[in-house]
Every structure is written in structure tokens, then in C-alpha cells.
Amino acid sequence: MKGDFTRDTFHRSRDFYRVLLQQGRVQIDADWNEQIAILLDRFEKLVVDVFGEHGGAQESCGFAVFRDKPGDLRLSKGRYYVEGVLCENNEITKLEPPQLDPDDEPKAYFAYLDVFEKFVAAAQDPSIADSALGGLDTAARTKISWAVKYWPLDDAANVEEKSSHEHWNREWENVRFELLRRDERRGRLRAATRSASGYTGAQNQLYRIEIHQGGESSENGGGATWKWSRENGSIAFGITNISAPAAGGPYEVDLRSGPQAAGAFSLGEWVEIASDTVAEDAQTKPPLLRVASAPPQSGASISLDASPGAYNSKAHQIVRRWDQKHDADGNDLAATGGCLPLVENAWLPVHDGITVYFHAPAGERVQYRGGDYWLVPARAATSAIEWPSDGTESAALPPHGVRHRYAPLAGLAVRGERLHPEHDFRILRPPT
């Protein structure tokens, strides 16, 4: 949720029932957003109590995996609920199967649904903003995104035996266990101000610590990197055109500018080109790019030192600013794609007295997932950050997001060079 928020105050463990506004008090975004989160949480739990962990109404249920006459895998249109969240497929969709190699591939796969919430601001969707406001954005939106993914099964198993309902159910329980265990093993973070001065910033900020390249830490031979923003990654603007350089010059990127774009970027800052074509939680992402020259005061364009790729008017391309400029030793970040190398079990400086610590239990090799993030509210009035303690030091917290939910769709067997649906895992609820 890369929005311009004061903080995120919703926590399921607090069991709050509702938010009550009081007269004559300051109204802030966090209270309103927490009320919506409370209602959504209650609604999702209600759906789970009715449908179970996943399911759909018999007359409108979609997401059936089937083969058409040419032999392609397809996904039926309709609705389906996954852990209380409504997923909709508005038309029959062609599925891209995994690449099959008869000599080396497993003989069966699970097709499952991976569901997550996606943040959408006016930078990605200009229709959200009211043109009467002259380019100023207001509230943002979220939408539910889903993807059909495949999990390979043991290639030594007899495919014929997998046709039984009981066998497929046992296989799914194993897959689900591995998916949840993978989520639970994601890296944890501590945040603190380690000096007597505490937080030294002059303004209240919502810092965002985000994994860029996923994987293991640098000391374990991995290439995981991280980045940070003092404004929750909310400094982002839509791209309207990308011009190739002339005579070795920088790449020019035209922006959908407005009053908020003025002075948003500076020479030497690192920016990210994001679009619908790159998943926010992708393990491998393109490197960040450096602002190559001082942008015009209007913020109508920026110059970049490397290619941002081709302009795609349908991909909702945006440019987002990140605030790291060098590592703890003052070294340039070009070698690590504009991001910071992820080092575990050491306090790493962020900004204005804030430090973070990527926590790895002794003897464990932790996997970090691209797009995972933590939010650190910093308050000038108290010279402190808002971060829970475990009694003796700052708590090691799992990522605040991205939260993933999973549901099985179908068991697929490899026959020849094609995948064939063997078992439908959807749960259809008859009308009541």
C-alpha cells in the first residue's frame, strides 16, 4: 500500500469492534482506514464461516480449469472466494502452462490460485483523480488480483494412482503446508533509534522498508536487496512517453505532472519504473535507475541514466522515487542496482537516526520475498518511532505485506506433451 498515509493502525490481534469519531477532534486518514479494515476483516471471516477456506456458489462459480478443443488449458469465468476474499474472472481465460520436458519434468502438477490485494493510485489510473482539481490526487483504491500458479509433484509417483480423490487431497495438503511454511519463513525486521537523540527528523514520516530483489542475504551468497522511502513510496507519477537518447545522452521520461510533481525528483536520486507487466512481489525485478540531470521545476519530465524500457500505454507505467543514496560506508549503489545489499543480524542505518535489523534465527537460512515491506511511523514530537517491543528490545516482526491467500483449483497430469485436468478441487455450494 504505497499511499500517502500517516500510519496503518489496524491490527487483528487488538479485536477492536469499530471506530468512533468524536466531536471537535482532528480527523486523520488512519482512523477512517482502520474502520474499513475492521469491517473487511469481519466480512471475510463471515464468508469463511459460510463457504469454508475456499468455495463458490454453484450457479456463479468460476475458475474451473478445462481443456478446449485445440487442447489449450482454459479458466472458466465466474466468481470464487478464497479465505473470504471474492475473486472474479470476467471472461474465459487462456492459461499459460509450465514448460514441459518429458525427460526431466514431474508427471503431475497442482494448479492453484494465488490471491493478493493491489494498491491503485491516480498515478496508475488517472480516472481516479477529479480533473477539476488540476492534477491533485485524493483517495486511492485497492483491487483484488489473482494468478493461477503451478506446483510440481513428485515425478516418481504413478500418475494413474493420482486419479483418486483421496490421493489428490493428500497431495494438496502437502502443497498447502509448503506454501504456508514458505510464507512463515519470510524474513523478519526490527526497527529502532539507536542513539540518545532518537529520531532527529523535523517532520512526521511513514518510512517504508521494502525488499527489492528476493532471495537470501548477501552473507549467505544470495542477492537479496532492499530499499527505503520516508514517504511510504508514495512519490510516484504516471509516464506519458519515453524518448530514446540522442548521441549518448540520457533517456527522457515524460510524466503526467501536476502540482505534486514540482520538485519531486532531484539529481542523483534512484527511481523505479513499475507497471502491470512486473508483479509487485516478483523475486527478480529490473534495477533502479538514477536521475541523470536536474529535472525541470514543473516536474513534467525526468532524465534517466539507463534505459527504462519501451513506453507501453496499456501497462500503467509509473516512476517511483526511493530515498537511499549510498550504503552505510558511503559507497555508491550502482553495483547493486540502486538498492542496498541485505545483511542479516546487524543494525543498518536508514535515515535521521532510524536503524533496521534483518533478523535471522541462528542456523536458519531465511528467504526474502520481493515486495515484502515494513512500515515505520516516525514522530517529530516524541523523537521516536512507533515499533513494538518484545520486552527487552524492538520486536522482530514479519512483513506487513504482501499477504497471499491460496486455494487449489485442479490436479493436472502430464500425458504426452500436454497437461490434462484430473481432479477439480473447487468447492461448489448449492443455493439455500
Structural domain for 197, as ranges: 189-231+338-398
Residue 122 lies in a domain: yes
pLDDT number for residue 259: 65
Residue 112 lies in a domain: yes
425 with 372, same domain: the answer is no
State the pTM of this model: 0.91
Number of structural domains (the chain) is: 4
- Average pLDDT along the chain: 89
Instruction: pLDDT band for 156, please (50, 70, 90 cuts).
Output: very low
304 with 314, same domain: the answer is yes
Residue 333 lies in a domain: no
373 with 273, same domain: the answer is no
Q: 420 is written with which cell numbers?
A: 490434462
Question: Which CATH number belongs to the domain containing residue 240 in this structure?
Answer: 2.40.30
pLDDT number for residue 361: 84
3 with 14, same domain: the answer is yes
- pLDDT tens-place string over residues 237-249: 999 999 988 777 8
**Mean pLDDT, residues 197-216 taken together:** 95
59 with 128, same domain: the answer is yes
Query: In terms of pLDDT, which residue wins out, 362 or 84?
Result: 84
219 with 342, same domain: the answer is yes
146 with 59, same domain: the answer is yes
pLDDT number for residue 296: 81
Q: Which of 51, 66, 91 is the last residue of a domain?
A: 51
- pLDDT tens-place string over residues 344-394: 999 999 999 999 999 988 878 888 999 999 999 999 999 999 999 988 889
pLDDT number for residue 317: 93
312 with 391, same domain: the answer is no
pLDDT number for residue 247: 76
pLDDT number for residue 104: 64
- pLDDT tens-place string over residues 290-305: 999 877 877 788 999 9
Residue 65 lies in a domain: yes
Lowest-confidence region among 251-255, 258-262, 283-287, 413-417: 258-262
33 with 77, same domain: the answer is no
pLDDT number for residue 106: 66
- pLDDT tens-place string over residues 320-357: 999 999 998 899 999 999 999 999 999 999 999 999 99
Residue 88 reports pLDDT greater than 60: yes
Residue 359 lies in a domain: yes
Residue 383 lies in a domain: yes
Residue 309 lies in a domain: yes
pLDDT number for residue 280: 77
